[in-house]
Structure 1
Amino acid sequence: MTTVFSNSVVDDDTRRGLLYEGKVFVYSSTPASRDLIAFAQELIADAFGDRDPETAQYDMQVEEFAALLADLKPRFIHHPECKKLLPAVLEELGCRLDRTYFDVPRMRTSTSNDYLTSGISYAFHPHRDCWYSAPFNQVNWWIPIYPVVPENVMAFHPAYFDAPVRNGSARYDYAEWNRSSRLSAAQHVRSDTREQPKPEEPIELDPQVRVVPEPGGVMLFSGAQLHSTVPNTSGRTRFSIDFRTVNIDDVRARRGAVNVDAACTGTTLRDFVRCADLDPMPEELALAYEAEALARVS
């Protein structure tokens, strides 16, 4: 069972503990989250021009659409304005900026009716972020940019939160992914041949939980949650923002979700910077997590 907390007033320390147990939190939009999606909407409008971005897929060749996203998404991800807006979202929702570290916010798209499901607009199979070298104290944040419906969001598969799934994470190393696969996303238009951890046994997708926040609404869940992209049958392309956070006290204390089935190596900790001043994650912590990942699989 997955419990969803709506507009909870618990403090962040308590909330993280509940997230590590498989709970999900959802919040109404805040002034800062509305500023963040408004900025995203500006960049999207500039990229698509006179086209409605949610229906532009019907007027564009898939290669043209993919090329547009290949320019738009990095502009959003690396824009200095995001580094100002994102910590404001975290602060409004109770995170301590001197203890919370974040990675770059990603703009995601999910096109309708299998128009573009690979590469730059990858439709994620059921997975845990922890199969991709994420730490078990990672919290995922997800924000829709435009209205979403049950037919174009993501799904959680709660029966598997604490149940192992045979998967390909043993073949995944984050440093190798960065060297060989990350930058080639835009090249995978018709299919995606990059090695990514997937379930390697049949799994039951139902029961599942789908959360439908308002534009600018914020959903939080553990990186250990088994989740997937819902096959989009809504008729509209979904645009959303996601990013990840860790609390450095949890990183140091190894406080987080239980590892039930991840066998990957490497760590994503070097992607995180401190909200207060953008200082990087201490290198000794990344090195320690890399050593522990190697020890788990040796």
Structure 2
Amino acid sequence: MTTVYSAPRVTDDHRRELLYHGAVCVYPATDASLALTEFARELIAEAFGPLDPQTAQHELPVRRMVEILAALKPRFIHHERSKQLVAAVMKSHGCDENTYFDVPRLRTSTSDGYLTTGIAYAFHAHRDTWYSAPFCQINWWLPIFPVTERNAMCFHPRYVDRPVRNSSDRYDYDEWNRTSRFEAASHIGTDTRVQPRIVDEAADLEPTVTVLPEQGGLMMFSGNQLHSSLPNDSGVTRFSIDFRTVHLGDVTAVRGARNLDSACTGTNLRDFLHPSTLAPIPDDVASNYQRAVGAVPPTSEHAVR
């Protein structure tokens, strides 16, 4: 079952436990989250010039849109200001110095199938843990412009604690970094990169739960939560930010959501940064976690092997 909590007044430790068990926490906009989304809006406005970025898809050829996003997204992701603002958002929500973050991603979901591959990949139902995310990963998601039930994302609560047969055994994080991570802009029309997905023809993804934070608000959920992009038929491009966090205590204790069906290899833990120093998680911590998790198989045989 997926329970949605509205701004729960709990400690970060308690909140992480709720999230590991399938909860979703949604929060109204704060000064810190608005600062992050406003910075993104500034960069987006610069990139699109006189065009309204939400409707620019109706005026630009697809390849021109790809060119704009291919320059805009890395600029936001790697900007020092982006990292500072993410750290401020984390602090405003009670995270301590043991909470590490991955750089924030600027996401786009275009309307009516205009661009759904590569740089604007439309995510099918998946768990981030199929992509070598640690089971203690928490996802943070913020809309930059208002979202609706026609262009946001959704959860599939039937599989909060139920495995589903998938192709995660084909995914290795080191191989992804070597061959696919920086190729997004070259995939127009089709996307041939390895993307773990459900392969169970009997899988039933209904009902779904859609959460709509206000502009600048945010929601948190476990990286082990099954989620997907809604088919966007709203007529506008959705712009959002997401970033991920892990708590060092949970990493070292190998604490987090239960591995239901993930069989991928590698770990993205080395991508996570300290909120103040920006130093990455120590390599020995990541290696120890990877060995410990590798010794614990999924709780079912639903991951394809």
TM-score bucket of the superposed structures, by smaller chain: over 0.9
1:69-80 superposed matches below 5 A: 69-80=69-80
Counterpart position of 2:107: 108
For residues 196 and 212 of structure 1, the distance between their equivalents in structure 2, rounded to whole angstroms, comes to: 26
Q: Which amino acid aligns with 1:83?
A: K
**Correspondence for 1:178:** 177
Determine whether 1:158 maps to 2:153.
no
TM-score (norm 1): 0.98
Q: CA deviation at 1:295?
A: 3.6
User: Residue in 1 aligned with 2:52?
Assistant: 52
Is 1:95 aligned to residue 95 of structure 2? yes
Question: What CA distance in whole angstroms lies between the structure 2 residues aligned with 1:214 and 1:293?
Answer: 36
The answer (yes or no) to whether the contact 1:153–1:229 under 8 Å persists in 2 is yes
Deviation at 1:285, TM superposition (A): 1.5
1-structure distance, mates of 2:86, 2:66: 26
Other structure's SS at 1:10 match: coil
1:287 alignment counterpart:
287
- The Cα RMSD (Å) is 1.1
Give the equivalent residue in structure 2 for 1:148: 147
Q: Counterparts of 2:7 and 2:260 in 1: how far apart (Å)?
A: 29
Structure 1 residue 292: Cα displacement? 3.4
Aligned to 2:251: 251
The alpha carbon displacement at 1:205 in A equals: 2.1
Q: Match for 1:9: what amino acid?
A: R
Letter in 2 for 1:230: L
Partner Cα distance (1:261, 1:136) in 2: 12
For residues 295 and 135 of structure 1, the distance between their equivalents in structure 2, rounded to whole angstroms, comes to 14
The 10-residue stretch of structure 1 (273-282 or 98-107) with the greater mean CA deviation from structure 2: 273-282
Identify unmatched segments of 5+ residues in structure 2. 298-304
Determine the C-alpha separation between the residues in 2 that align with 1:292 and 1:198: 25
Deviations, residues 52-106 of structure 1 (Å, cap 9, x unaligned) = 000000000011101110000000000010111111001111111x110000000
Structure 2 length-normalised TM: 0.95
What corresponds to 1:19 in structure 2? 19
Residue matched to 2:218: 218
Quote the residue 1:201 is aligned against: 200
User: Hey, what's the Cα distance between the residues in 2 that align with 1:4 and 1:174?
Assistant: 31
- CA distances 1:95-120 after superposition (whole Å, capped 9, x unpaired): 11x11000000000000000000000
The answer on whether the counterparts of 1:265 and 1:293 sit within 8 Å (CA) in structure 2 is no
C-alpha separation in 1, matches of 2:218 and 2:125: 21
Residue of structure 1 in register with 2:121 after alignment: 122
Query: In the aligned structure 2, how far is the partner of 1:169 from the partner of 1:290?
Result: 16
CA contact (8 A) 1:264 1:293 kept: no
Contact 2:254 2:289 in 1 (8 A): no
Are 1:82 and 2:82 an aligned pair? yes
Q: Which amino acid aligns with 1:221?
A: F
Gaps of 5+ in 1: none
Please state how far the C-alpha of 1:11 moved relative to its aligned partner. Answer: 0.8
Residue 10 in structure 1 maps to residue 10 in structure 2? yes
